[in-house]
């Protein structure tokens, strides 16, 4: 089998396509969460904390020097405010994924419980049928 044919077989598997769809949806979901954090969650938090915009918080290690236009020196800073925003985004995404997985597990368990009787129920049913069979022979 040629390499192209093997690749086609690999790429057309259901789980690879599902993974690709999940990555695309995850990327879009990440943008939604970023917007939620930056434009909805953080402004009220900034308002409560006295107008602080977390994305602007930083620890400046070296100030920018623009005195010489031919040789500009950029600012060097640790932007911990952006890091705080990213942590909040991560927590929201993690919680959303937790809720989705929990719901999927609940639906899956419910379907399994309805679809297949428990092993002890099957065993007891077989014993009952054997006892009825024995009584019918006597």
* pLDDT tens readout for residues 12-43: 776 777 888 888 888 888 888 888 888 888 78
Number of H helices, E strands in the chain: 5, 2
For the stretch 98-109, what's the b/e string if a residue is b when 16 or more beta carbons lie within 10 angstroms of its beta carbon? eeeeeeeeeeee
pTM: 0.53
Helix (H) or strand (E) holding 59: strand 59-62
pLDDT confidence tier of residue 77, bands split at 50, 70 and 90: very high
Please say whether the beta carbons of 76 and 64 come within 8 A: no
Helix (H) or strand (E) holding 37: none
pLDDT confidence tier of residue 112, bands split at 50, 70 and 90: low
For the CA atoms of 57, 58, 63, 69, the dihedral, rounded to the nearest 10 degrees, stands at -70
- Rounded-to-integer distance, Cα 121 and Cα 129, Å: 12
Domains of the chain with bracketed CATH: 3-137 (1.10.1200.120)
- Rounded-to-integer distance, Cα 66 and Cα 105, Å: 58
């Amino acid at each position: 089998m040629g390499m192209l044919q093997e690749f086609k077989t690999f790429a057309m598997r259901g789980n690879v396509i599902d993974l690709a769809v999940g990555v695309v949806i995850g990327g879009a979901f990440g943008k939604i969460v970023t917007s939620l954090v930056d434009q909805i969650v953080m402004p009220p938090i900034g308002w409560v904390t006295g107008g602080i915009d977390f994305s602007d918080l930083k620890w400046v290690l070296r100030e920018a020097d623009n005195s010489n236009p031919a040789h500009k020196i950029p600012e060097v800073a640790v932007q911990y405010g952006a890091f705080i925003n990213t942590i909040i985004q991560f927590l929201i995404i993690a919680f959303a994924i937790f809720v989705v997985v929990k719901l999927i597990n609940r639906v899956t368990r419910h379907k399994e419980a309805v679809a297949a009787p428990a092993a002890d129920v099957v065993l007891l049913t077989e014993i009952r049928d054997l006892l009825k069979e024995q009584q019918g022979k006597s």
